[in-house]
Amino acid sequence: MSGFSAGRFMAVLIKEFIQMRRDRVTFAMIIGVPIMQLILFGYAINSDPKNLPTLVEMADSGPVARAVISGMANSEYFDFIGVVTGIGEGEEALRSGRANFVVVIPPHFERDIIRRQSPSLLLVADASDPTAAAGAVGAMNAIVDVAMREVLIGPLAAAARAPPPFSVIVHRQFNPEGRTSTNIVPGLLAIILSMTMVMITAIAIVREAEKGTMETLIATPVRPIEVMMGKIIPYVLMGYLQTAVFLLAAQQMFAVPFEGSAFAFFVGFNLYLLVNLALGFLISTVARNQMQAMQISFFTLLPTILLSGFMFPFAGMPGWAQTIGTAIPATHFLRLVRKVMLKGAGMADVSGDMMAIAIIMIVIVTAALLRYRQTLD
Amino acid sequence: MSVEAPGDNLPPAPAITVTGLSKRFGDKLVVDGLDMAVPRGSIYGFLGPNGSGKTTTIRMMCGLLTPDAGSGQCLGFDIRTEALKIKEQVGYMTQKFSLYEDLSIRENLDFIARMYQVPGRRERVEAALADLGLSDRKNQLAGTLSGGWKQRMALAACLLHDPKLLLLDEPTAGVDPKARREFWDEIRRLSARGVTVLVSTHYMDEAAQCDFIAYIAYGKKLIDGPAAEIPAMIGLHTWRVDGPDLAKLEVELKDTNGVEQVARFGAVLHVSGTDGPVLEAIAKSHVARGTHHWQEKKAELEEAFIFLMAGAKDNFVAPEARKS
Ligand SMILES: Nc1ncnc2c1ncn2[C@@H]1O[C@H](COP(=O)(O)OP(=O)(O)OP(=O)(O)O)[C@@H](O)[C@H]1O
Ligand SMILES: [Mg+2]
């Protein structure tokens, strides 16, 4: 763009900062939302519920089976509430919510262990509330292990040694990935940033048009790029502040780890921030007033929440939903943050995700600059 | 400049010339083939009823709207392609207050000064505040100013960069009479310094202070020329009537053939028509009744515009009929 003036750019920047400072409600929202969300989701994150109602179908009631059952009961995760005959009855109980688990001990369980045929013990879990089931499911292998050691003694001791005498098969129904709770916090960062940043930028720009100040602004020799940069940079800093608050709170309240490269996080985070601000800018070129800007922002938030892998596991979505999800920046940022924070990833591991965000950003920025007019029509 | 150099053989190019300027919003032709020339250094009044396209025309002149048809130059720059150059030398005061209500008075002026990269910005802004008499209120938020003060501040803002051309869109709407007079004193001062002023207004006393006037209705120009000549150009004859029970007389005259306009001015009626002899005959017949006092007078701008406004409706309903 010809004739860029640092002075005008700075003027827009300063004006934007002053307006931001005077708009206390928005400022409070930017700081308040992440903390509030963390606390709300925190209940889910912290819950490792015990004493979950469990049914058992015992086709073999030998000592090994009984040892497993009592081991499960002792773990306090499982609370045996009854016996079922046939898996149909068990599934009905899961569906109605009467039970969270059904344990199926197959016929000839003990005999097959002794014959070293490695029989399967089936644990059917209601994973529609994954955080509720995760703790119990995770504990299952250890419970079985201990139970075996106690019961397989004497002549059976040989069977207790590796390979495992039988396998535990866990069926998570309704939610195949069965995410663990820490997964939510990094995901939440992606959602909060896109929720606040898109909307705030869109509103801040539409406000100029709605209040009529846009007319004064574009009657001056200001260039579109000066307006765009001057308006976006204050919100970049806002995003920094918001993320710092969020990470600090997540660390303090829920001891969420940060295993990987801070640099990789920082680069990915900036990319993601920019893509959201650019999207807000694009929305502002479409919306006619602040209300519309808010509504369109909310509209874009829905697929971000539903299809990015935050709410439902990405791999479990149908093909068309995955296609849409791939075009959503949050999808890639979510993966990036999970990899970096939880799996200790570095720059090389997340370069693909960064690339994806960068491509989406180029598309959005191009569209925004094309739509932004220097005239009122 | 041009005003002080009447001896020049070549008249300076007008500050603004537009030809065939048109703008359409949806299927509504808001400005329709407008031709206009604003001489340099003049005060040019831009008149027309609500919705006639004044604001739209002004926006096209300074590059805020792209015309659908027509062309023009503003200060020597093409209004279609050189909007940025125009913006640097034009001060545009919008009809609706459009400075930042959540910025203080000083912050607003400072922002505008930075936009135009005004040299010696701080001093310029302080001087503007002092001129306005707002130095002690400079930290007050602009949104908390009264309507009249907002207008004064907006004028100060668009003068910060010493523009060569001022486009003022109803600058005195909602301003009290004293402030309005001061406003116009300022406009005349600027004009004397060579600044060209295009000002839209609905006030006849303001129109009378302009050097030139253009009147538009429904996007079409009905008339333009030197302000003093407008009534003569329309060819309006006016009689001044006073006496008892004017309301009844007004109703009667409105139904009389040959009387095209009856306007009430305080305790008198101004009765106008374009056909002088017919009107005179009507006057004579009324004088014969002896109830009212009739006296012919020179038609003023005021009557001229009331007449134009009434005619504008016909112009819109049956534009073909009027053309022929
Ligand atoms: N952005 C727009 N979109 C659609 N229609 C518009 C737009 N701006 C103006 N108009 C229409 O164009 C017409 C002329 O409007 P304009 O503001 O130019 O009139 P005006 O002469 O300035 O009126 P007023 O004296 O009331 O200020 C109006 O009918 C208005 O509704
Ligand atoms: Mg107007």
CB-based contact, B83 to chain A, within 8 Å? yes
Say whether pLDDT at A183 is over 70.
no
Distance CA A240, CA A24 (A): 18
Q: Which residues contact A257 (CB under 8 A, 6 or more apart)?
A: A182, A341, A342
Candidate from B59, B111, B117 with C-beta closest to A15: B111
Q: Give the residue, by CA position, lying nearest to ligand 1 atom 6.
A: B25
Average pLDDT, chain B: 88
Q: What is the pLDDT of residue A182?
A: 61
Distance CA B265, CA B248 (A): 15
Q: Residue A33 is encoded by which pair of tokens? A: 């939302």
| pLDDT tens-digit readout, B286-297 | 888 888 889 888
Q: Which residues contact B172 (CB under 8 A, 6 or more apart)?
A: B151, B179, B180, B183, B184, B201, B203, B206
Q: For the ranges A71-80, B74-83, B125-134, which has the lowest average pLDDT?
A: A71-80
Residue B52 CA: nearest ligand 1 atom is 21
Whether B102 and A19 lie within 8 Å, measured CB to CB:
yes
- Taking the CA of B48 as reference, the closest ligand is 1
Say whether pLDDT at B92 is over 90.
yes
Q: What is the pLDDT of residue B3?
A: 47
Say whether pLDDT at A226 is over 50.
yes
Quickly state the pLDDT bin for A80 (edges 50, 70, 90): confident
Burial grade of B36 (CB within 10 A; 0-12, 13-18, 19 or more) = buried
Quickly state the pLDDT bin for A157 (edges 50, 70, 90): low
Say whether pLDDT at A95 is over 70.
yes
Cα-Cα end-to-end distance for chain A: 21
- Taking the CA of A375 as reference, the closest ligand is 1
Say whether pLDDT at A222 is over 70.
yes
Give percent of chain A above pLDDT 90. Answer: 19
Q: Which residues of B touch A224 (CB under 8 A)?
A: none
Say whether pLDDT at A314 is over 90.
no
Q: What is the pLDDT of residue A1?
A: 44
Q: Residue A269 is encoded by which pair of tokens? A: 């985070």
Which range has highest mean pLDDT (A113-122, B6-15, B38-47)? B38-47
Mean pLDDT within B4-13: 58
ipTM, two decimals, is 0.81
Say whether pLDDT at A148 is over 80.
no
Q: What is the pLDDT of residue B74?
A: 94
At CA A109, angle to CA A103 and CA A112, rounded to 5? 145
Q: Residue A104 is encoded by which pair of tokens? A: 């199926």
Give percent of chain A above pLDDT 70. Answer: 85
Q: What is the pLDDT of residue A43?
A: 61
Quickly state the pLDDT bin for B98 (edges 50, 70, 90): very high
DSSP line for A30-98: HHHHHHHHHHHHHHHHH-----EEEEEEES--SHHHHHHHHHHHHTSSEEEEEE-SSHHHHHHHHHHTS
Q: What is the pLDDT of residue B115?
A: 95
> Which among B100, B104, B150, B151 is the top mutation candidate for probing chain A, defined by the most A β-carbons within 10 Å of its own β-carbon?
B100
Say whether pLDDT at B4 is over 70.
no
| CA-based nearest residue in chain B for residue A8 | B115
Q: What is the pLDDT of residue A373?
A: 66
CB-based contact, B96 to chain A, within 8 Å? yes
Say whether pLDDT at B155 is over 60.
yes
Q: What is the pLDDT of residue B39?
A: 95
Residue B219 CA: nearest ligand 1 atom is 14
Write down the domain spans for chain A: 52-173, 180-376
Whether B103 and A218 lie within 8 Å, measured CB to CB:
no
Burial A308-322 (b: 16+ CB within 10 A, else e): bbbebebeebeeeee
Distance from CA of B102 to the nearest CA of A (A): 6
Q: For the ranges B131-135, B195-199, B314-318, which has the lowest average pLDDT?
A: B314-318
Pocket residues: Cβ below 6 A from ligand 1 = B 25, 30, 48, 50-56, 95
Mean pLDDT within B14-40: 94
Residue B43 pairs with which residues in a beta bridge? Answer: B197
Tell me if B18 sits within 8 A of B32, measured CB to CB: no
| pLDDT tens-digit readout, B200-229 | 999 888 999 999 999 998 999 989 999 888
Question: Closest Cα partner for A289 from A174, A355, A186, A205?
Answer: A205
The CA-atom distances, in angstroms, between A149 and each of A68, A138, A156 are 11, 19, 10
> Which among A19, A23, A377 is the top mutation candidate for probing chain B, defined by the most B β-carbons within 10 Å of its own β-carbon?
A377
Q: Which residue carries 């109602």 as its tokens?
A: A53
- Taking the CA of B53 as reference, the closest ligand is 1
Helix B105-115 and helix B121-132: axis angle, to 10°? Answer: 140
Q: Which residues of B touch A23 (CB under 8 A)?
A: 102
> Which one has a higher pLDDT value, B67 or A62?
B67
| CA-based nearest residue in chain B for residue A227 | B115
Average pLDDT, chain A: 81
Residue to probe by mutation, ligand 1, list B52, B56, B58, B65, most atoms within 8 Å of CB: B56
Q: Which residues of B touch A221 (CB under 8 A)?
A: 84, 87-88, 115-116
> Which one has a higher pLDDT value, B304 or B6?
B304
Distance from CA of B243 to the nearest CA of A (A): 50
Q: What is the pLDDT of residue B252?
A: 86
Say whether pLDDT at A87 is over 80.
no
Which range has highest mean pLDDT (A166-175, A253-262, B230-239, B303-312)? B230-239
Q: What is the pLDDT of residue B11?
A: 65
Mean pLDDT within B154-161: 94
Tell me if A247 sits within 8 A of A336, measured CB to CB: no
Ligand 1 geometric centre to CA of B217 (Å): 12
Mean pLDDT within A58-69: 81
CATH value of A52-173 in 3.90.1150.10, 3.40.1710.10, 3.30.450.40, 3.40.50.970? 3.40.1710.10
The CA-atom distances, in angstroms, between A33 and each of A40, A243, A300, A303 are 10, 11, 18, 20
Ligand 2 geometric centre to CA of B107 (Å): 27
Q: Which residues of A touch B114 (CB under 8 A)?
A: 7-8, 10-11
Q: Residue A225 is encoded by which pair of tokens? A: 């790029």
Candidate from B65, B103, B114 with C-beta closest to A375: B65
Say whether pLDDT at A159 is over 70.
no
Q: Which residues contact A104 (CB under 8 A, 6 or more apart)?
A: A56, A57, A59, A87, A90, A121, A122, A123, A124
The CA-atom distances, in angstroms, between B53 and each of B50, B57, B60, B70 are 8, 6, 11, 15
Cα-Cα end-to-end distance for chain B: 41
Distance CA A203, CA A9 (A): 20
3-state SS class at A324: helix
Question: Closest Cα partner for A307 from A173, A191, A202?
Answer: A191
Q: What is the pLDDT of residue B116?
A: 96
Whether A216 and B98 lie within 8 Å, measured CB to CB:
yes
Q: What is the pLDDT of residue A89?
A: 81
Helix (H) or strand (E) holding B223: strand B220-226
Tell me if B281 sits within 8 A of B214, measured CB to CB: no
| pLDDT tens-digit readout, A250-283 | 888 777 777 788 999 999 999 999 999 989 989 9
